[in-house]
């Protein structure tokens, strides 16, 4: 069986779903809270949507 590819979302989309500001998302990432951000170059940051939703549902960091 083939592994399902993640659906990627931006910091803006993450902030909207979490109902917080983008600066809060950046602060969480810096402190190690929530899902691990994935850098796609110097300015492009994406998050695995499933990990974001799991974190918001449980409040626990996802295994990456």
DSSP H helical ranges for 1-64? 11-18, 22-31, 49-58
Count CB atoms within 10 A of the CB of residue 35.
21
Nearby residues of 5 by Cβ (< 8 Å), 6 or more positions away: none
The sign of the CA dihedral 5, 9, 15, 18 is: negative
Residues written for the chain: 64
Structure token pair of residue 7 = 């659906």
What is the value of pTM for the model shown?
0.80
pLDDT over 90 (residue 15):
yes
Output the pLDDT for position 61. Answer: 59
DSSP code of 46?
E
- Name the residue ranges covered by the structural domains of the chain: 8-58
Output the pLDDT for position 53. Answer: 95
């Amino acid at each position: 069986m083939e592994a399902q590819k993640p659906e990627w979302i931006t910091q803006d989309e993450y902030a909207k779903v979490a109902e917080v500001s983008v600066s809060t998302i950046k602060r969480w990432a810096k402190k190690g809270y929530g899902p691990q951000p994935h850098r796609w170059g110097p300015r492009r940051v994406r998050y695995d949507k499933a990990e974001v939703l799991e974190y918001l549902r449980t409040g626990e960091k996802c295994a990456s």
